[in-house]
A and B are shown apart, each in its own frame.
Chain A
Amino acid sequence: METVSTDVVIVGAGGAGLRAAIALAETAPKLRVALISKVYPMRSHTCAAEGGAAGVIKPDDSFDFHFHDTVGGGDWLSDQDCVEYFIHEAPRELLQLEHWGCPWNREADGSVAVRPFGGMKKQRTWFAADKSGFHILHTLFQTSLQFPSITRFDEYFGLDLLMHDGRCRGLTAMEMRSGELRQFHAKAVIIAGGGAGRMFPFSTNGAIKTGDGMAMAYRAGAPLKDMEFVQYHPTGLPNTGSLLTEACRGEGGILTNKHGRRYLQDYGMGPETPVGQPQLKTMELGPRDRLSQAYWHELQKGNTVSTPWGECVLLDMRHLGAKKIRERLPLVHELAESYLGVDIIKDPVPIRPVVHYMMGGISTNTAAATPLPGLFAAGECACVSLNGANRLGSNSLVELLVFGRRAALSAIEYIHDLSPTNTSPLEAAADATRQRVEALHRRDDGNESMSGLRREMMDTMEKNVGIYRTEAGLQEGVNKIHELRERYTRVKLTDKSRVFNTDLFQILELGSMLDCAEAVTVGALARRESRGAHQRLDYVERDDTNFLRHTMVYRQDAELPRVDYLDVVITRSPPGVRDYSGDKR
């Protein structure tokens, strides 16, 4: 097996991975960086983010506002020291991106424009039309091309971390185009592999969002934190699940049920605001968890609209007018038109909640360090506890930047103090990976089909771990996912060839998703309260006495994972009431 010796390996070349790579190249140009990803960087799912990125910049805004919006939005499960660090770094990072050429929308005087977003008290979301993530990703990727210390390994599929003496010392990966394995020996590893939304059947996530980075760390002994918090975005296209950005509502779009009623006022987000004059932090600009839950209640009441694609509510943007829609929401306009046949200038578009984002992930502290020395993580794959129980729209793109950079700085610091070790134990660990892959190739008695197992997993997650959850449903989910993990050991690899074998990659991805799914279900079963995106029909109240703490899930090979807890860091905002009832004057 060929060995690549380097200083830092980054797994994942989306927003967080690229930001980390650039920070390494700028701060420590002598360190060699290997940036590996299972896709070319431009394909990373950061490109699909639409609405924008939050950072305090306007004179009427303040760090305090951003702090309280984020902590309250996260239902007090955010670590407040982390939020503090984040809000102060956010504007810096967005400005840095501006200097690198990101085409942010502008005010008439040439300063950066901001738009309103859900759960935010002030307008602070920087945006590039409705392709903000796309522009952030391409700006980072193109900027990264100028640094000689970054070597990209595009289309390398990360397999296992190489551990020695309890430290992370690299990883094994497969060159996808040849099927050959490589071991990367490094002093530090940064995982920036994205979320695992594809464990659900109806998701805004691209096909690549299979939690490989999370699972890699999890298998190596790192805990996954707060995995039960899965965000449903309230406005997805009902057939493809494509995202219609929150900016639709930020710009003034409204949600109505089949009677034409703006039903959000019935769920603690009223009183109704005038159409076309969105007010911050109320009605359509409430947080995502509340909006998705309101849909579910409308569904129970029979207030939804029956469409060929299932039960929907309506997102009405007609009053915005053609000019504003074309200028600020061109992608949404195009998506609804081509995939659903609805012209949002002329008609309301049917939508329903869709799995969008995982608040949970590899447990990290504010320095982006995992409990495993030498292993750092950033982005959706990590849980730095910024987002708590529910992420506010437009915080995650900034999270990629702030903690991508932070992971790089932490890695540099860590490497500085590291003493050299020999690499022979790594060879043995790498060989274990080789045998794992070879076993898949050699196995002839595999009797479980990849697509069959995958469908059962998705159906289980959809049925038992949705917007509202119950003890019995979750128990069924835990049992089923555990059973699927066991059956996965007999999965059949049909395609035995070596070159770009997507049958093999899908099997590996399924393994990652099953690991993540088990952490989600086990965490959800153990959390007997309702908080943010985790809502239990049998425990409808938030329980700060027992559950103002993070769920930490540790993998155990054949058994169910071990669940532990970690206290939430509260500095200056004690748990309170999430109030989205708008202006009461």
Chain B
Amino acid sequence: MNAPFPPPPSQEGGDGGSQAMPAPYHDGLPSGRPSGKTMKERLVQLEVLRYNPDTDTEAHFQRYEVMCQEEWVVLDALNKVKESIDPTLNYRWSCHMAVCGSCGMMINGEPKLSCHSFLRDYEGVIRVEPLTHFPVERDLVTAPDDFMEKLKRVKPYVITKQKKPIEAGEYKQTPAQLMKFRQYSMCINCMLCYAACPEYGLTPHFVGPAALTLAHRYNLDSRDEGRRERMEVVATREGVWECTFVGACSEVCPAQVDPASALQQLKIVGSIDWIVEHLLPGGKP
């Protein structure tokens, strides 16, 4: 006997068994459809910054009005605009659960993931712009090249003096040792912190919050021996010493990574290294 299931009480003749599944509402939009009562709907006004390098010399705002369900997020509203009003509107998105980091935008002037910006939290016209401090390719699509380069520069990977063979099994790491760095490993690379950091906006050579935080994450990992290498990038004028602790990075971080804390800790580590190296006889950090 393969099927453990009793035959269903009523067969939906010929129409495919799945028809009783709740019907979808819209592509790409939360598909819950009210059964019986209707979901609360609301006319949402969006003001979206548009820029097309083919035709525009400057960016301009465009107004859209769409009917949305009250529980939707700003990304759902954009998707509905793209599907039903304007296919030429461009933006990135994928996971719709605040983990892939694609859909960072300025929403009413605040760097946010649009998939985690709930319409219920906004009144009136919602103003949507591309992330600040990054060049705009088109509409809400920015160029993250600078961030990608900086990420690579801080060597965000385990560095060991000698490679441990797989046969030797795992590195022992206690829950306490894990907790020491875990928070800093939660960065989704959404770049909201770069859009919030005025330091990065004013002095673009600043390595910036997310990349420095990842350096700190590996520095704190009990398996890693690469701190000295990383500090050559981190404890520099382009690194943590460019940070003046505005703290905006931590305020906007959607993953509660708290980059500001990582950077302040790096400053202390960098200072101690400097003191050991320059002020103690024969000192090496």
Point out residues on A near B: beta carbons under 8 Å. 39-40, 42-45, 47-48, 75, 92, 95-96, 98-101, 103-112, 131, 134-135, 138, 142-143, 145-146, 154, 177, 201-202, 206-208, 238-243, 267-269, 290, 293-294, 296-297, 299-301, 306-311, 331, 335, 338-339, 341, 352, 450-451, 454-455, 458-459, 462-470, 472-474, 476-477, 494-495, 497-503, 506, 530-531, 535, 537, 540-542, 577-578, 580
Contact = CB atoms under 8 A, between A and B. Distances in A.
A153 to B, nearest CB: 12
B157 A100 contact: yes
7 contacts: A40-B144, A101-B157, A201-B24, A206-B95, A239-B31, A462-B24, A494-B87
Interface in B9-24: 9-11, 14-24
A299 B16 contact: no
A500 B22 contact: no
B152 A207 contact: no
B214 to A, nearest CB: 7
B3 A530 contact: yes
Interface stretch (B59-67, B98-106, B262-270, B274-282): B98-106
Contacts of A111: 170, 172
Contacts of B224: 101
B98 to A, nearest CB: 8
Contact of B54 (A202, A208, A239, A497): A497
B221 interface: yes
A341 B118 CA distance: 12
Nearest to A178: B137
A472 B22 contact: no
Contact of B34 (A146, A308, A450, A540): A308
A98 B166 CA distance: 10
Interface of B: 1-11, 14-24, 26-28, 30-37, 39, 52-55, 71, 82-84, 87-88, 90-97, 99-102, 116, 118, 137-139, 141, 143-144, 148, 151-152, 155-158, 164, 166, 169-175, 177-178, 181-182, 185-189, 214, 218, 221, 223-224
B113 to A, nearest CB: 11
* B14, B99, B171, B223: most-surrounded residue (chain A CB, <10 A): B99
B15 to A, nearest CB: 6
B15 A45 contact: no
A48 B214 contact: no
Given A301-B9, A309-B33, A108 B166 contact: no
A462 B94 contact: no
* A104, A297, A499: most-surrounded residue (chain B CB, <10 A): A499
Contacts of B5: 267-268, 293-294, 297
A134 B4 CA distance: 36
B188 A106 contact: no
B16 A310 contact: no
Chain B interface, DSSP helix/strand/loop, else mixed: loop
B283 to A, nearest CB: 29
A530 B187 CA distance: 43
Contacts of A75: 2
B35 A306 contact: yes
A290 B4 contact: yes
A106 B174 contact: yes
Contacts of B32: 238-240, 307-310
A98 B1 CA distance: 42
A240 B8 contact: no
* B34, B158, B182: most-surrounded residue (chain A CB, <10 A): B158
Contact of A43 (B3, B28, B94, B151): B94
Contacts of A100: 157-158
A50 to B, nearest CB: 9
B87 A110 contact: no
Given A201-B24, A308-B35, A459-B23, 14 more contacts: A42-B188, A45-B100, A99-B164, A111-B172, A112-B170, A207-B95, A296-B18, A310-B22, A450-B87, A473-B17, A474-B16, A501-B90, A502-B90, A535-B17
Contact of B88 (A99, A301, A503, A580): A503
Contact of B17 (A243, A309, A469): A469
A494 B139 CA distance: 16
A499 B88 CA distance: 11
Nearest to B95: A206
Given A110-B174, A297-B8, A43 B100 contact: yes
Contact of A202 (B24, B100, B186): B24
B17 A472 contact: no
Contacts of B31: 201-202, 239, 241
A468 B18 contact: yes
Contacts of A540: 2-3, 7
Given A110-B177, A310-B35, A454-B27, A42 B14 contact: no
A112 B177 CA distance: 13
B28 A300 contact: no
B100 A42 contact: yes
A287 to B, nearest CB: 11
A515 B218 CA distance: 44
Contact of A108 (B6, B100, B116, B175): B175
* A45, A142, A269, A474: most-surrounded residue (chain B CB, <10 A): A142
Contacts of A465: 16, 18
A553 to B, nearest CB: 20
B141 A98 contact: no
A384 B8 CA distance: 34
Contacts of A268: 4-5
Contacts of A243: 97
Given A103-B185, A297-B8, A503-B88, A463 B18 contact: yes
Contacts of B96: 206-207, 240, 242
Contacts of A138: 185, 187, 189
A463 B16 CA distance: 7
Contacts of B35: 306-308, 310-311
A95 B171 CA distance: 9
Contacts of A267: 4-5
* B6, B139, B157: most-surrounded residue (chain A CB, <10 A): B157
B16 A131 contact: no
A117 B82 CA distance: 39
